[in-house]
Structure 1
Amino acid sequence: MKKLKIVTIGGGSSYTPELMEGFIKRYKEFPVSEIWLVDIEEGREKLEIVGAMAKRMWRASGYPCEVHLTLNRREALKNADFVTTQFRVGLLDARIKDERIPLKYGILGQETNGAGGMLKAFRTVPIILDIIKDMKELCPEAWLINFTNPSGMITEAAIKYGGFEKTIGLCNVPLRYMMMASEALDIPVAELDFKFAGLNHFHWHRVWDKTGKERTDEVIEVVYNPNSTKEFKGMENIKDIKMLYEQIKDLGLLPCSYHRYYYIMDEMLKDELEEFKKGETRAEIVKKLEAQLFELYKDPKLNYKPEQLSKRGGAYYSDVACEIINSIYNDKGTTMVVSTRNNGTISDLPHECIVEVSSLITSRGPQPLNWGHFDSAPRALVQHMKGMEETVTKAAVTGDYNKALHAFIINPLVPSGKIAKTLLDEMLVAHKKYLPQFREKITQLEAQLSH
């Protein structure tokens, strides 16, 4: 079998041991010969810590894979077969601003939704386009597997504006919901069939058993009916407040955790404001957790993924990221949930837009499974959200302030009018170091503030 070169941009991430574990588990199916972990100067220390641990993991495995650490992205990308991205522009301090600044105004602050998610896109899109520029020159046949959030919008920028069709967006959330359905029905995941459709962090799904019988309504009853005696553990990074049973029953589809921000916004905001006052936003908790993880990673005897990493919010990351590479490399046709071109899969959305849908993963990439139309209630939301995402992506690519403002005004989690403009302006200035496309406007805003 051809040996493989894999490059991970954001290699100093606390998630990297998850990725190494996934590659080690699948080595006999796709023999990785080189892994290059790439980071920036600000991430040098973390890269060296987690890189040393990655090397220990491979030595313990007994497999002949070389792990390289570098701050030189172009050096790493040359002749790569797969490039994975898991970087965070501005590190966790930027995420803290994304969460705390909106909450200061009594507005939901969240990493990939609302104002915080839009600013994360503004910071990240220019970097993914730079990466693609290098890939077109140095490894034009490679696949780009993007895990960087907001994954759907970053994938949209990569494909529509970067012109890199061999881009796939990934998320670990769908796998968690497959496991939840398995628990609810007491049937192994392998004996169930799922179909997901929507957008990244904004999808719904249905479930069937192997006899062809749909079991979606049963899962709704077990998970959402107040009289149900079963308890379910949700996502680590989202407070597990129950959505309204009557509404989900009418929906007839299983929502993801992130729908809480739209379906029960009042309760989620109340909870976030309480955490904000205590200095315990999710970003601040994650920063402390990450510091603890890196202390663990420094242990020269540690050569396996520690259990504490599951608290970070990225559980099952390796299974998703590594299995998609496995399925492309071996043309397996595995069914996975990915962000890719719609191509008519969801009838209610534009043909060329990026959606998150169940797809067969082959050597040609994702082959989306047809979903068809949504009923009126989810259709109204998904069309609104897609329009908002497209506006955010255009603003991120062009640096057009007016488009950025328009995106804030139409985002369901941001109040429209002057408060949207005030919030946008403050967040642009707060993140100015990472927003070169908005430099001219930010200079004007700072001049106004100085008066």
Structure 2
Amino acid sequence: MKLTVVGGGSTYTPELVDGLARLRDALPVEELVLVDPAADRLEPVGGLARRILARQGHPCRIVTTSDLDAGADGADAVLLQLRVGGQAAREQDETWPLECGCVGQETTGAGGLAKALRTVPVVLDIAERVRRASPDAWIVDFTNPVGIVTRALLRAGHRAVGLCNVAIGLQRKFAALLDAEPGDVHLDHVGLNHLTWETGVRLGGPGGTDVLPALLAGHGDAVARDLRLPRSLLDRLGVVPSYYLRYYYAHDEVVRDLRGGPSRAAEVAAMERELLTMYADPALDEKPALLARRGGAFYSEAAVDLVAALLGGTGSPYQVVNTLNSGTLPFLPDDAVVEVQAAVGPEGAAPLPVPAVDPLYAGLMANVTAYEDLALGAALHGGRERVFRALLAHPLVGRYATAEALTDRLIAHNREHLAWA
């Protein structure tokens, strides 16, 4: 089995490699190809990957290359984890929206739109080359904004599934609070990527007992602290929103917080420099503890489980993924990409039925879905007016003067990545 990682020089990669070594029975990878144009990142990451596998006695062969076409040739699955513009572009995404009083964040709001505009054309080019090199390969997208990128891939006819680690992180957290095995905890997870709610927490599978009310009653304070939302709000909602909902439910507070400290991008850039120095140490043969602070917790488990299910049906039968709505949420278009529990196998991901969604959440999902449709149009076709319309539609913007000012800043800061600008 051959697995190719585009963006293989990412500091995330040792997390993935560690998971491949630990979970070799689920996904017996024989060749792992790390593709990245940045040799200064790829070589230390590749070296550590080889040492991790050797320490754990895994026979997989590691190949590092800047040649995408050769790297994708014969691949069974291709994992996308790239960042167009690097951390420098991310820092801009987190900074200039604040000048207009809006949340500065790399996956949602104005910053998220900038990332989509930079990313979608690059990903579609990569996907076409993958299709030529290996027509039957599955593409697993971990590149943000996952919902928009996955929608672009599916609209272009690619065999693609989107992946995010929010759900698996909550599953592991709830399992620990409930003193249960993670595999026994099934989430009633509904929404869009980075716009989701847990409307039920079931023990034993999709038809199991819903313990969410008891979880909130006994551990609501701990859950609220992690989300940085008031416990009283969770009690009133009766659900657990993802931590990205704080950008919506506490917008002005978040803007004040972001203005008052260093950007997350600056913190991550410093962390990455330290990690790459550590990776270059020939004595290091395991993922360092610092990597846990980089983000992407449980990314390896989620990726291995998904790829195993897509390639051989040996992964978990039900997984939270990003895939076509296809009537699952009747208030959204069929071609919208939703993030829900799905039955996953060699034929792809089929969403499980979802009970009627409270209008409080359905309305916000519909609003953001409309934004994502406009954002994808701007990413595919360009043009200042398309950018403006997408920003005006986003519930974190929604004012024409603000959308105008953000449009000017977005184009100015991303001109080198926008062919039409």
TM-score (norm 2): 0.95
Q: How does 1:16-415 map to 2 (within 5 A)?
A: 16-40=13-37, 43-160=38-155, 162-164=156-158, 166-205=159-198, 206-210=200-204, 212-224=208-220, 228=221, 230=222, 234=226, 240-243=227-230, 245-246=232-233, 248-275=234-261, 280-332=262-314, 333-415=316-398
> In 1, Cα distance between the equivalents of 2:357 and 2:223?
29
SS in 1 for 2:135: coil
Are 1:184 and 1:222, in contact at CA under 8 Å, matched by a contact in 2? no
> In 1, Cα distance between the equivalents of 2:56 and 2:173?
31
Whichever residue aligns with residue 207 of structure 1, its letter is: V
> In 1, Cα distance between the equivalents of 2:414 and 2:218?
43
Whichever residue aligns with residue 168 of structure 1, its letter is: V
Are 1:118 and 1:392, in contact at CA under 8 Å, matched by a contact in 2? yes
Aligned residues between the structures: 417
Q: 338-347 vs 142-151, which deviates more?
A: 338-347
Distance 1:384 1:415, change over 3 A: closer
Cα deviation for residue 219 of structure 1 reads: 2.5
Whichever residue aligns with residue 356 of structure 1, its letter is: E
> In 1, Cα distance between the equivalents of 2:172 and 2:24?
25
> In 2, Cα distance between the equivalents of 1:326 and 1:187?
24
SS in 2 for 1:145: strand
Deviations 1:36-64 (A, max 9, x none): 11112xx2201111111112222223332
SS in 2 for 1:67: strand
Are 1:251 and 1:377, in contact at CA under 8 Å, matched by a contact in 2? no
Q: Which runs of 5+ in 2 are unaligned?
A: none
Cα deviation for residue 232 of structure 1 reads: 7.0
Cα deviation for residue 182 of structure 1 reads: 2.4
Cα deviation for residue 184 of structure 1 reads: 3.6
> In 1, Cα distance between the equivalents of 2:68 and 2:230?
44
> In 1, Cα distance between the equivalents of 2:19 and 2:241?
27
Cα RMSD between the aligned structures?
1.7
> In 2, Cα distance between the equivalents of 1:168 and 1:231?
29
Are 2:224 and 2:231, in contact at CA under 8 Å, matched by a contact in 1? no
> In 2, Cα distance between the equivalents of 1:354 and 1:231?
27
Deviations 1:344-377 (A, max 9, x none): 1222211221111111211112121111421111
Deviations 1:90-125 (A, max 9, x none): 000000000011112322101101111110000000
Distance 1:172 1:231, change over 3 A: closer
Distance 1:118 1:244, change over 3 A: farther
Distance 1:208 1:291, change over 3 A: same
> In 2, Cα distance between the equivalents of 1:396 and 1:97?
18
> In 2, Cα distance between the equivalents of 1:171 and 1:101?
26
SS in 1 for 2:153: helix
Stretches of 4+ aligned residues off by more than 6 angstroms:
none
> In 1, Cα distance between the equivalents of 2:223 and 2:160?
37
> In 2, Cα distance between the equivalents of 1:53 and 1:158?
31
Cα deviation for residue 223 of structure 1 reads: 4.5
Cα deviation for residue 311 of structure 1 reads: 0.2
SS in 2 for 1:141: coil
Are 1:204 and 1:254, in contact at CA under 8 Å, matched by a contact in 2? yes
SS in 2 for 1:301: coil
2:412 to 429, 435, 438: 429
> In 2, Cα distance between the equivalents of 1:360 and 1:304?
33
Distance 1:430 1:215, change over 3 A: same
> In 2, Cα distance between the equivalents of 1:259 and 1:200?
11
Q: Which runs of 5+ in 1 are unaligned?
A: 235-239, 440-451
SS in 2 for 1:36: strand
> In 1, Cα distance between the equivalents of 2:298 and 2:219?
21
Are 2:328 and 2:351, in contact at CA under 8 Å, matched by a contact in 1? yes
Q: How does 1:5-20 map to 2 (within 5 A)?
A: 5-20=2-17
Distance 1:220 1:390, change over 3 A: farther
